[in-house]
Structure 1
Amino acid sequence: MAATASAVNVSERTPLLLIRPSSSSSSSSSSSSSSSSSPTPPPLQWSQIYIILLLQLCEPLTSQSIYPYINQLIRDLGVTRGDEHKVGFYAGLVESLFFLTEASTVLYWSRVSDRIGRKPVLLVGLAGLGVSTLGFGMARTFAGIVVSRCICGMLNGNIGVMKSVMGELTTPANRAEGFALMPVVWSAGATLGPLIGGGLSKPYDRIPLPFFRTHFWRDHPYFLPCAAVALCIAVAWGVTALFFKEEGGGGFGWMVWALVGVQLALCVLVDMAYGCIFMFITAAAPPHALGATNGLAQTAVSVARAVGPVTATSLFSVSLGWRYQYEYKHARARARGMSGLCGCCEGGGGGIEEWGAWVVGMLGANMVYVFVVVLSGVAVWVGGMLPDTLDEGPDGEDGVCGVGRVGVGEGEAEEGGKGEEA
């Protein structure tokens, strides 16, 4: 204590206020040193940010490009029936539908991007913008432009996803610099959109080129600005598909998407087989009870649709519980120094019980898929008992309900031909 006091030349009688300047100066020097040694913010990932800014440019081009000609388009469609006071109402309705439908779906697209990744949602949104924009240029009725604008807004979930991507590409140190670029690009798109819409509308009357002197451009005077915007969207789609790299490893791999495609293809085959089932039921039903037979079949289908999801989810939960039991028993067996399959069953048990516990434990929640596969195999075996054709009944007689009438007509025609020859 004495050594410390002599080192700083203070004693017990020294006022404490005299050492405050030194403490403040030391604190200021430490703060200045800490501020001078603070790390510089990391640079922005410009290659990816440029792609996001290109995507940001597409939305104002799509939404603002119709403003120069929407009033004239409403007049040309004849929806107002010559009443000029209604032009503003219908034009405002068409202009608002884009943002109204976008507001109703942007939350869901953003939530989907958390599950499957940002890139698939961005690509779907761009594709929706491009297709609906072309549809707007091809529409020749008021209902057509309303549907195209609604589809354009519903499929455009990129406005929220792009901000999420920008947040993932930046850090708290440089986030302000990245987000400051988005309003600038929006303003640029809101400026270019009306220029494209007004400068390229009615090429049949305004552009003296042989390419535009056709009936198509005369009947679709506003397709050219829509095609120009769709071309910009197509370029953005290609750049995103080729060069955009998703941060954080979100989304699924190509194997998962391939399996999803296979599942969708199998769903098409299932629907085709579903229609064939009722053909067999109709052919096998007696003529006086055709309605009752089809009603009974549809009742069975409705019961299966009601019970199926409950059964599948229940089996999933039960098999998942079996998985936890297996892991618990396996951990207890390892704690007791047992290896292999021994100890997987609580009371030892025989070999069959041990193998059963091991299979159930390894499959876990996938046991429900095993059950569905077995059930499908039984259905295929039962379906193999059905006849290959519906021309004849089970006893060799003609089919009922008109199924075998074609064969009967052909037989009568053959007999009539033989009679004529005789």
Structure 2
Amino acid sequence: MAQAMKIAIVDDEQDMRQSISQWLALSGYDTETFASAEDALKVLGPEYPGIVISDIKMPGMDGIQLLKKLMGADSTLPVIMITGHGDVPMAVEAMRVGAFDFLEKPFNPDRMSELAKRASNARRLTLDNRALRQELSGGTQIMNKLIGASPVMERLREDILDLGQADGHVLIDGETGTGKTLVAHALHAVGSRAGKKFVLVSCAALEEEALSKRLFGPMMPEDAQLPAIEEARGGTLVLEDVEALSDTLQARLLSVMNEQGTPAETRIVAISNLQEAGKTSEDVLRPDLFYRLAALRITMPPLRQRGEDILTLFTRLSEQFAEEYGCEAPQVSAQEAAQLLQAPWPGNVRQLINIAERAVLQSRRGSGTIASLLMSDHEEMQPVMTTEGKPLKEYVEAFERMLIDNTMRRHKGSIASVMEELCLPRRTLNEKMAKYGLQRSDYL
């Protein structure tokens, strides 16, 4: 479950600090307040897990000076500035320095909540991206994150290796929650640009003017951040939600791509996250841009097409969450394994992660079933109907493989312990492990 984003509120007026804090706390944010910029700087840094809302006019260090220091430390930190009524020059200066946006007193609380939500989403994306880059610094490591032995996952890994070595632009599309951003990282990590810059921009997180500036500039000499197309020079620029680009920005992106020639100076990896029924990236992108991007294309397989990978992923995820929460991972029955395999998974891997975490939490309480979680999931993801059935033999084999895999993990590869728990003779266990591609060395 996503942790609530922090919001640092900096204002020398106590009443203003408290009113903003109370309003945002009611919206589910974790707020902390500071009476001065100097106090705030003792806490705010490059890894701050949230955003900042600051007044501009304060005694001592004012909001603009604070903003400059924050941008110098982390130019991706969203800072929302509060200006006095009619104080346009101050607002313009704040935006030039790098403010995410500004609020003019007296401001509408709903407008503040809307800005806080946009800024928090952008911050979460930045921090997730940063953590992923640190964790997955090598191509081998990131490919190991693409778990699964299903034919569609084998083909996906092959496509990544092939396209990673190519140098053209790439379009990644597919259903929501299938791991498109992870694949963008993998394409960068396994290719010749692995040691170069990897820059990710969410096209849906910024309004058009701010997005245009972030992508193409112009940037002022005082700005700490280069335009993304320059920042990623020689490396990879990933455009999430590419369908959110306006016609004007699509034309400008195409112009930049045409100017670069072949091989491209900056590789563009576009991610399409279309939610509208019956719409594809080809429907919303101008044709010349679409065909430039889709010359190399990866369509992510939905989870429901990955067969036994569902059980493998559920097991790994529930083990990770069990370790995090300090409890035992829930044991999956044959009926529950069949339910996991049959569910349509409209939210894909992202939904599976959610279900696995909730299964661990309810197991810790000693109540609930996986079936109840599947039925009570978010309204837009309710897997009430199951997908087309499979032969009983496939369900039995999938459960059997999961059971042996889980038992081997629990006993850290001890064949004797697994034989005793599953009441299997050694020869039968060896035959089944060979049948399911399980190797003892993987569990030691």
TM-score norm. by structure 2 comes to: 0.22
| Bigger strand share | 2
| Bigger helix share | 1
Larger radius of gyration: 1
